[in-house]
Structure 1
Amino acid sequence: MTNWEERRHLVKIANMYYNDNWTQEQIAKKFSVSRPVISKALQKAKQIGIIKVFINDKTFHTVKLEEKLEEKYNLNDVLIVPSSDQSVEMTTHAVAKAGANYLSKNMKEIKSLGISWGETLTALVKEYPFEMRENVKIVPLEGGMGTKKVDIHANQLAYELSNRMGGTCTYLYAPAIVESKELYERLIGMEDIELVLNECKNVDMALIGIGNPYHNSTLETLGYIQNEEKDLMREKGVVGDLGFRFFDESGSPLTDILDKQVIGISLNSLKQINKVVAVVSGVNKVDSLRAALKGKFIDVLITDQKTASMLDKFE
């Protein structure tokens, strides 16, 4: 309990600090005490309710949501982009831009960066500023030879991002998904492909997107999966994919779905990478994203507010 005289003293200090913009040092000099005494007085004024801090900014709620998701899914960092009335295209662009800014600010210790494929990552690369990072190597996390949507393939994104960074890149000269297990075994045994796949496992950071094979699926657009494959996926419990590697609602890899036909990093190897950054846009990916988080494949999440809000509602 505090008496009237002490409360009056605390109020006076609080008023000088918050309303009159005095520094703690100036207040200390006025009362002939040390600065730590003033600091403790302000802290006590908060504890007993004299000082109540209100944050007046529209980003406050997204910051609180970021903190909740960090704790809920044990993430290193979460970045949420406001998306209240934006179109799908505008939201994707905003998330991609936020991803590019985050990447640019967190490249200090990075010497090798793995990149996956997809529309959102393509938008991110286009937003990335031109810099000089000559010591950085960009590595595609999976193959991607083909004639459809070549601009969103991992090889192309590795090339484009290395140009913007002024660094170097490698290429994985193989399809993302091959026709048979026999061809798969032959390709991964080739020296050049084996070398790049080993580089994938040892990158300092991985940049990934998340796919939902049932809703607005780029995999379907590219012809990698048809209705027949989708029916099989439903039977097996597939809820999403990371670089053509499928997983169920608990985040467990489903190795009997095209696994021995995919030329790229495995989910178990992805999990071993020191920092995996997922850039995800769109509420149609909430179930897939939640499963990927439960599987602990992700360390940093960059997404839009609607997707994050839906993610927060899950128990």
Structure 2
Amino acid sequence: MATEPSRPGTPDEIRLALRAAQLYHLEGATQADVAAKLGVSRPTAGRLIARARAQGLVRIEINVPDDLRSAVHADIESQLEATFGLIEAVVLGEVPDRSAASLLPLGRAAVGVLNRRLRPDDTLGFTWGPDTIAVAHELWTKSARCATVVQLDGSMTSGDYKTGVDYTLGRCATQLQATPVRLHAPLYADPATVTALENDSMLGRAMALGRGADIMMFGVGPVSTATTLFEGSYLDTAILDELRGLGAVGEIGGRFFHADGSDVAGSLAARTVSVGLDAIRACRTALLISGGKTKHEAVLGALRGGLATILVTDSECARWLLEQKESAAR
């Protein structure tokens, strides 16, 4: 019968803790192996290993090779996760500009997240924009699977602006072997039209499916003329002025939020055809993909408002986010 060590802190206890740590950390033994080797129970082996670390008998160091230091930011990622309550943060060294090519590293990193977290019976929802186009571009066949891919926000407009919805929806559905669900609706309409669209049998189903998506992926937009909504003529300067006056700092799927992440009311809210911000907050996995200096305020507001459980961003944005938290604490 296995015997338990007694009187914690005695020389024998220290010796056992040190031996357990050597077996576990240096020789690759499992806790079951340690227990058998030392003649203790498995729970006791676990406690001995933990005690060795707590008493300073073990020091664990993580050494990043010099040639990878600019690409690996594990310390910043863990700080972001702790600071903003994230499930996961992925931080890249490259800082994107407004070109499509510069977003591809963010898209590639987001694909890595999807590969690990998508399940075959999941519904994946997305908002249209350059960030999710980059994700679609970087997907490859059989990397992951899901059941359905659904558009989360309307995209139709009177202009000829290319939103990338067809590309994103089609490529994601093909690469993930999923059923595509298109939201054939404008992003903004009269309130009565929005109500009618929600009550429509086809569009209402698409919107309901989007609200219940297991994973949502999206970027954020600033409240400025640099946003795709302005470039696509969805918004004009008068609406932007109104939004700024209401304290808006960013948008997701055409829905604007304050610096604390709360919804902006205003005239635009009732005219928006997209999943609500509350649906994003309730989503199991809300994947925010964004980078670049113009997006900093919007990303911070989204994190403060619980609008992301996973963040993929660049190191410059990540450091800025942490600095804002430290400044607020001071």
Offset, 1:176: 1.2
Contact (CA 8 Å) 2:77, 2:90: kept in 1 or not? Answer: yes
Alignment match, 2:222? 212
Q: Counterpart in 1 of 2:300?
A: 290
Aligned equivalents of 1:65 and 1:303: distance in 2? 11
* CA deviation after TM superposition for structure 1 residue 171, in Å: 1.2
Equivalent AA in structure 2 for residue 218 of structure 1: T
Q: How much does 1:87 deviate?
A: 5.8
The structural deviation recorded for 1:97 is: 0.5
Q: How far is 1:3 from its partner?
A: 11
Alignment of 1:239-254 (within 5 A): 239-254=249-264
The reply on whether 1:304 has 2:314 as its aligned counterpart is: yes
Q: 2:127–2:253: 8 Å Cα contact kept in structure 1?
A: yes
Cα shift readout 1:115-160 (whole Å, capped 9, x = no counterpart): 111101101101011128776111100111245443523x542222
Partner Cα separation in structure 2 for residue 76 and residue 182 of structure 1:
39
Deviations 1:1-60 (A, max 9, x none): x99999999999989998xx65559xx99xx84598998777666555454332210279
Q: Which residue of 1 aligns with 2:289?
A: 279
SS of 1:314's equivalent? Answer: helix
1:144 and 2:155 are equivalent in the alignment: yes
Q: Which amino acid aligns with 1:237?
A: G
Q: In the TM superposition, what are the counterparts of 1:95-110 in structure 2 within 5 Å?
A: 95-108=106-119, 110=121
Show structure 1 runs of 5+ residues with no match: none
What code does the residue aligned with 1:68 have? Q
Contact 1:134–1:168 (CA under 8 A) maintained in structure 2 = no
The 3 A distance-change label for structure 1 pair 22 and 175 is closer
Give runs of aligned pairs for residues 61-72 of structure 1, distance below 5 A: 62-72=73-83
From the superposition, tell whether residues 281 and 5 of structure 1 become closer, same or farther in structure 2 (CA, over 3 Å).
Answer: same
Kindly provide the amino acid, as one letter, of the partner of residue 233 in structure 2: G
Instruction: Check if 1:184 corresponds to 2:194.
Output: yes
Q: Is the 1:132–1:167 contact (alpha carbons within 8 Å) kept by the matching residues of 2?
A: no
| CA distance, structure 2, for counterparts of residue 132 and residue 244 of structure 1 | 30
Normalising by structure 2, report the TM-score: 0.79
- 2:59 corresponds to which residue? 52
Q: Paired residues, what number?
A: 306
**Root-mean-square deviation over aligned CA pairs:** 3.4
Name the CA distance, whole Å, in 2 between partners of 1:132 and 1:94.
17
1:166 aligns with 2:177: yes
Rounded Cα–Cα distance in structure 2 between residues aligned with 1:68 and 1:132: 29
- Which 10-residue stretch deviates more, 32-41 or 219-228? 32-41
Q: CA deviation at 1:313?
A: 1.0
What amino acid maps onto 1:143 in structure 2?
A: G
Distance in 1 between the 2:299 and 2:121 partners?
25
Identity of aligned residues (%): 19
**Other-structure match for 1:269:** 279
Answer with 222-231 or 128-137: which moved more: 128-137
User: Secondary structure of 1:297's partner?
Assistant: coil
Equivalent residues of 1:70, 1:78 under 8 A apart: yes
